[in-house]
Amino acid sequence: MDWYSTVFELIDMRSFSNLWFWIALAVVWSTASHWVLGVPFDMVGRARRKGGQAAEDLTDLLRIYTSRLLYIADEAGLWVIASGAFFLTGFAVLGWVYWVEIAQALFLLAFPMSLVSLLSVHTARALHEKDHDLEAVYKRLGRHRLMVQGIGMVSIFITAMWGMYMNLSVGALGG
């Protein structure tokens, strides 16, 4: 047996048994949780604690990112939703009708992130429609982050359960 086949025997290259998939899942959710509407959440905490220039920087950055997000949603929102629905439906059909494991993995990554995207547009619109005092902005961003973390926890749990099921069922079938 040569070195190449030994390595690929030890490292299964399917989606749910691949270490890179789980690293990507962790990176996606930690990034989504840290960057709230394009603003790093540590900046929100610093603005809340220190005020002054940190609060001005936060409001400027938040205004820029919410305006950008709302512009994209208003100008191309229908196309983004249509293409997202197309790809999600394709992944779902390939994954659970034809049992393509990579399509299942991509669906389990993309579907919850689409919910986060919709939540981000909703939060950006709520912040943009009326003027808020800083304390209300901090609370809204905190609630948004908490909801993203909740979606992430449920998503990671479901993905882990499905991944374990797939790994055990493939292992039980003999490969």
Average pLDDT of the residues of the chain: 91
How far is Cα 3 from Cα 8, in angstroms, rounded to an integer?
9
Q: Is the pTM of this model over 0.85?
A: yes
What HEC string does 49-63 produce?
Answer: HHCHHHHHHHHHHHH
Q: pLDDT tens, 40-80? A: 999 999 999 999 999 999 999 999 999 999 999 999 999 99
Q: Of 27, 62, 30, whose CA–CA distance to 44 is shortest?
A: 62
The residue with greater pLDDT, 113 or 132, is 113
Cα–chain center distance at 141: 16
SS3 129: helix
pLDDT for position 8: 64
Q: Where along the chain do its domains lie?
A: 58-163
Band of pLDDT at residue 3, cut at 50, 70 and 90? confident
Per-residue pLDDT, averaged over 86-91, amounts to 98
Per-residue pLDDT, averaged over 137-149, amounts to 96
pLDDT for position 169: 87
| Residue 165: CA count within 13 A, CB half-sphere | 9
